[in-house]
């Protein structure tokens, strides 16, 4: 078990809690935890291929390109601002 398998309690925020049980199903691994401090129980699930060694080598990921489209495709109802005329010297 590695340090990345530990988790923090969602209830009392106790840190570095080791999983009480680990189950694997297909390409997914489930970790069951129980907090020793407050007895809160929770489960996390990981898709194994997302945590492969080649993924760690690529971290941090490339930034996402800027969006070029808007969420609303309806025409604007606000009047266009006229361009300022340049003053003659």
**What pLDDT is stored for residue 9 in this prediction?**
96
Ramachandran assignment for 53, one of left (phi > 0), alpha (psi -120 to 50 degrees), beta (any other): alpha
Q: What 3-state class would DSSP assign to 41?
A: strand
Taking the domains of the chain in order of start, what are their residue ranges?
A: 3-45
Q: What is the pLDDT along the chain (89 residues), one digit of tens a residue?
A: 555 689 999 999 999 999 999 999 999 999 999 999 999 999 999 898 887 664 444 444 545 444 444 444 445 555 555 566 666 55
Tokens of 63: 């930034």
- Hey, what are 39's tokens? 């007895």
* pLDDT at position 88: 59
């Amino acid at each position: 078990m590695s340090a990345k398998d530990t988790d923090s309690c969602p209830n009392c925020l106790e840190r570095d809690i080791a999983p009480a049980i680990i189950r694997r199903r297909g390409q997914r691994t489930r970790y069951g935890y129980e907090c020793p401090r407050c007895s809160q129980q929770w489960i996390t699930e990981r898709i194994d291929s997302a945590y492969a060694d080649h993924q760690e080598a690529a971290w941090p990921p490339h930034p996402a390109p800027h969006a070029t489209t808007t969420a609303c495709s309806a025409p604007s109802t606000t009047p266009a601002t006229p361009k300022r005329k340049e003053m003659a010297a």
